[in-house]
Every structure is written in C-alpha cells, then in structure tokens.
Amino acid sequence: MAESLRFPDMRYVRDFELFLRRFVALDGAGALRLTTKRVHKQLVLGVTGCVLAPHSLLDDTPVILGVRGFKLAAGVEDLDAVYQLRALSERLPRLAEPQLPLPPTETTSVWAGIAPPQTGWRAQGVVSAASLSEVAKTGAQQIANALPENPGELLVQKLREEVWAREILPQVPAGAAFALDTLGFLHGSSDVKLLSANGWLRLEAKGGSVLVRL
C-alpha cells in the first residue's frame, strides 16, 4: 500500500487543496517539499514551495519560499520528500475520505536543496500586513502595465526581476510581499513579524511564513 497522509477531516483536505492551487497558479510545473514532525505530540505536515527564484546567474531575483503547516491525524513519520506539484494537486479532487496517498515517485528541485535554518531566528521587528498587500498589488499592476500584448519570456522575467527584487525595507524585497499576498498568508493578519538567521529572512504572518535567502 502506498504511503499516505491522513487529515483530521475533509475540511483540512479542501484547505490543503486551495493552498496547492495557489502554487499551481504561480508555477504549474513546479514541486513542493513535504515534511512531517511531531509538535507537542501533534503530527504536523510542513509544505514548502518556491515562489520566486533567479533564472540565470545575472538575474537578481531573490530565492523566496512559502511555508505553511497543516495538522494531520496520522501519516508517515519523519517524512522529507519533494514531489511534483501536479502529482499532488491532481489527486485531491478525487478523494472521498481525508486520506492522501503520496505519489509513488519523488522528484528533485534546485531550491529544495537550499535548507533554511530550523533554529536561531532573531526578531527584527514587525511590518503592517496592509502595507505589504499594497506593495504586492502595486507591483503586479506595474508589471501588467509594462507588458506589451505578446511579451516574450525574457521580457516577462526581466520585468519581474526589476519589480520584485526592489527592496521595500532593508533586506526585504518586494517579492516577499508578493509571496505573502499570493499565497493568502496576509488574510486575517494585522502585522507580520520579521526574523533573521544565518543569511535568511523570515516574514511570519497568521496564515503562513515566507523565507527570503539574503
């Protein structure tokens, strides 16, 4: 029998499915890293995906990851694997019970080999969730307004680099605001905590966290 993850009920499955849909909209051919661990005896699924990353050595786009945890009722202990995003998302609509069979084949991804710190995070302050949402919407509009009718991929990448690599606070790129907003992490949040550790920045909102490689 294939290894699987069991959610407490179907509401958690639908929430997980919605989260994966947000990543599909960003990068349908991408991958997600799934990890499981016990937190105060509760089994928790950690889901990490890449929102932004450079396409070449000359690209200044920062590596920005989105991370969210989900409560599990049961499942594989100490899981740490990378799966194709579509291999996961395509299974969810067909589920009749809150048990997700994991894909039989793992994959690899460059960003998944970059391990953010697990401990040692130091508080750096807070920033308004509303201001981050405004940065995300303004940036998206700037890109949309600058694109011609039939833009090439290189032009799209260049515009995204210019907009999302721009710092809105010291070491905080606009792309972090884009990631928080696009993944739905700002919903219900008034402030977002800023933390740093060993070359990484963490923006922690009510709905999830975004990690920026400095």
Q: Give the pTM.
A: 0.93
Give the burial string for 93-115 (b: 16+ CB within 10 Å, else e).
eeeeebebebbeeeeebebbeee
> CATH 3.10.150 spans which residues of the chain?
4-113
Q: What is the pLDDT of residues 20-68, one digit of tens each?
A: 999 998 865 689 999 999 999 999 999 999 999 988 878 888 999 999 9
Q: What is the pLDDT of residues 119-132, one digit of tens each?
A: 999 999 999 999 99
188 and 40 Cβ atoms separated by less than 8 Å: no
The CATH class of 4-113 is alpha beta
Cα dist from 43 to 69, 72, 75, whole Å:
10, 5, 8
